[in-house]
Amino acid sequence: MVCTDKFGRPIRVPEYQRSWDHRPHPLKDQDRESLHKEIREKLRGGDGLSLFENFKGQVPRWNYDTFREFGEELVQAARQGDANRTAAIEALTYFLDRRIDPGEKRRSCLLELAVDSLEKIFSSVPGLDSDLGGAYRRIDWVSRTSLRKPEGGERTLLLDATGFPPEGDDGSARLLTRAFHLGWHNFLVYGCRGHRFLGCGLGPETRGVRMDVYGSPGDYLGSGMDGLEMWVHGNAQDQLGQILKSGKLVIHGDVGQTFMYGAKGGSVYVLGNAAGRPLINAVGRPRVVINGTALDYLAESFMAGDPHNGGGFVILNGMEFDEHGRLREQSMPYPGSNLFSLSSGGALYVRDPHQRLGKEQLNGGEFTPLEEKDWQLILPHLQENEKIFGVDLGKDLLTVDGGRKSPREVYRKIRAVKLSVLSATTPEDEV
């Protein structure tokens, strides 16, 4: 049996990696206490990112039980107050989002352990009817009728999507909309299993609102958002960010079909790949970074104006991760055809240091030299991409075959051209 991903690439597991047998093997008392002590010391005055950075280098040497014990200690620490809870959630989320060297373990098994610890922390958050203080409150299907406005120091509403229908009046997306109009501005949604329309319907001018999504959200996530900031901690499905106007959308994985159809703006960052027909009919000023690649018809009918005068653009890096969590070039930065098909504005910046893209893959675009003003335009977005995903601009993107290159040697610009087939008419055509 041969397994492939949706891009047709074989999925292989390194022979030296072994799976988790799901049977806990307790650590020796001395090893467990040493680990707990180190975690407590790092938690004191630290945040989730520093906690992740301090422990990620140890993971290749750990066995599954050590990683499980690490998560369990964070679960216990999270019960000791909001500061610890926030740091624990952030640290485990970084282990979920970032690609690290798993050693002899399988990344999928580590993700299972990280998600298990996160959901224990989420489930321990008091409900809306609790008289306990704190910044976090939780709601689920059973307690959905208790929804109210935030009180006191309450800042973050956790929604357990388990049990909610995937869409409709009783869906989780509708409850989130009602919560927003009651005054909640920070959301954490977990237990998603195909729940659609998350982040939709909040209305215009939603700057300052953030929604973090865990699990497997469904179609149309973030569609029509205007100012909202959404973070998906994993893969996403089809029709994401349709007619997106403004805001920030971050996907720590792959995205499905017709991503950002008709989008008018927003800053979007995708760690993995995009399936077919992303950014069809996009207009205005969408600014998009895709670290992987895309299937056919990327930016078809792109109408985003002049990128140097408020228009939009797409950056395609064509990268992937190996089994050690290291970035490497994909065999082709873009394997399909109809790249920038029938576009009339905007620009596409492709990481293609080996000049593998050919003119025959274009349909409405043309290669043009990358100028200094182009690099200054996309540089802030690549820097933000590094901050979000840990994709190092110098070490990962501007290094080719072991040597540092200039941006012009690494990136190629594709701009829209006026298609004579559409502009040239004859008297017979006009009859």
DSSP state string for 362-415:
BSSEEEEPPPHHHHHHHHHHHHHHHHHH---IIIIISEETTEE--HHHHEEEEE
* pLDDT of residue 118 exceeding 80: yes
**Contacts for 118 with CB less than 8 Å, ≥ 6 apart:** 89, 92, 93, 96, 190, 214
CA–CA gap between residue 18 and residue 264 (Å, rounded): 46
Decide: pTM greater than 0.95: no
Per-residue pLDDT tens digits for 1-14: 788 876 677 877 78
Comparing CA positions, the residue from 291, 382, 294, 308 lying closest to residue 341 is 294
CA 332 remoteness from chain centre: 22
Split at pLDDT 50, 70, 90, the class of 115 is very high
Helix, strand, coil percent content, the chain, rounded in steps of 5: 30, 20, 50
Q: What is the pLDDT of residues 279-294, one digit of tens each?
A: 999 999 999 999 999 9
Output the CA torsion 403→322→317→395 (10° steps): -30
Instruction: Please tell me the distance from the alpha carbon of residue 389 to that of residue 52, in angstroms, as a whole number.
Output: 13
* Residues 18, 21: Cα–Cα separation, whole Å: 9
Q: In 3D, which of 87, 90, 89 has the Cα closest to residue 120? A: 89
d(CA 402, CA 361): 28
Given a cut of 50, whether residue 251 has pLDDT beyond it is yes
Indicate if the pLDDT at residue 43 is higher than 70: yes
What single DSSP character describes residue 349?
A: E
pLDDT at 15: 81
Q: Cβ atoms within 10 A of the Cβ of 152, count?
A: 8
Can you spell out the DSSP letters for 228-251? EEEEESS---SSTTTT--EEEEEE
pLDDT classification of 427: cutoffs 50, 70, 90: very low
Residue 53: the pLDDT is 96
Q: How confident is the model at residue 429 (pLDDT cuts 50, 70, 90)?
A: very low
Which DSSP category does 291 fall into?
S
Amino acid at position 178, single letter: R
